[in-house]
Chains A and B, each alone.
Chain A
Amino acid sequence: NAGVTQTPKFRVLKTGQSMTLLCAQDMNHEYMYWYRQDPGMGLRLIHYSVGEGTTAKGEVPDGYNVSRLKKQNFLLGLESAAPSQTSVYFCASSYSKAGLGETQYFGPGTRLLVL
């Protein structure tokens, strides 16, 4: 049981380049999330998904797109990277059950530097 994994661990991009971050979970969770964390700040939600084929915007969605074609995978895309997108990106997944609340499990993060 690997939990939540993220690929790649670190990436350097030039302004205007595109890339896709991959998140995978093996816990059969319905919900998945993408956050970003800037230095000295808390996590901010970019996009989330409540199930296969569905996505929704979070707090800071501009400049990002997502897809959830398979239940276990959640992809975050940057179509045209900007230096302001330099950050650490965390993926998370969760269950949701009445009486048990909701607990999110996080991946190890992807460090992205945009030059």
Chain B
Amino acid sequence: DAKTTQPPSMDCAEGRAANLPCNHSTISGNEYVYWYRQIHSQGPQYIIHGLKNNETNEMASLIITEDRKSSTLILPHATLRDTAVYYCIVRRYSGGGADGLTFGKGTHLIIQP
């Protein structure tokens, strides 16, 4: 699986959009970009994933550049409850040969009141 690079920490004001960047310059054509987050002392929570196209769900939007070498997770209206460590993970579809996710250090997003 391709390696990812994320800033260690970011601040965002409550109510504003939080934009979390991720670089994955060695991504392969069959690798998906996943985002998870971990709120203090809780299990990781799936947010969103994509392959080539931009994606949106009830939690966030994922913008993937045309060359797929980087992506941005957007939380449109951040709240205090969005304070967490956000992990960008690149992973190929294993087609049934399941293995674990590789969690790096992620970005610690702090939402300021």
Please report A residues at the B interface, Cβ cutoff 8 Å.
Answer: 4, 30-31, 33, 35, 42-45, 48, 50, 58-59, 90, 92, 94, 96, 98, 101-109
Q: Which residues of B contact A42 (CB under 8 A)?
A: 87, 102-106
| Main SS at interface, chain A | strand
CA of A90 to CA of B93 in the docked complex: distance in angstroms? 22
Closest-by-CB residue of B relative to A97 is B93
| CB closest residue in chain B, given A34 | B100
Instruction: Please state if B95 and A96 are interface contacts (CB–CB under 8 Å).
Output: yes
B96 touches A50 (CB 8 A): yes
Q: Which residue of A lies closest to B41 (CB)?
A: A109
- DSSP class of B's interface residues: helix, strand, loop or mixed? loop
Q: Is B29 positioned at the interface, with any CB of A under 8 Å from its CB?
A: no
B residues contacting A by CB (< 8 A) are: 32, 34, 41-46, 49, 51, 87, 91, 93-106
Contact of A103 among B34, B42, B96, B102 (CB under 8 A): B34
What are 17 sample pairs from A and B whose C-beta atoms fall under 8 A apart? A42-B104, A45-B99, A45-B101, A48-B98, A50-B96, A50-B97, A58-B99, A90-B43, A96-B96, A98-B93, A101-B91, A102-B93, A103-B34, A104-B46, A105-B46, A106-B45, A109-B41
Interface centre among B44, B51, B87 (most CB of A within 10 A): B44
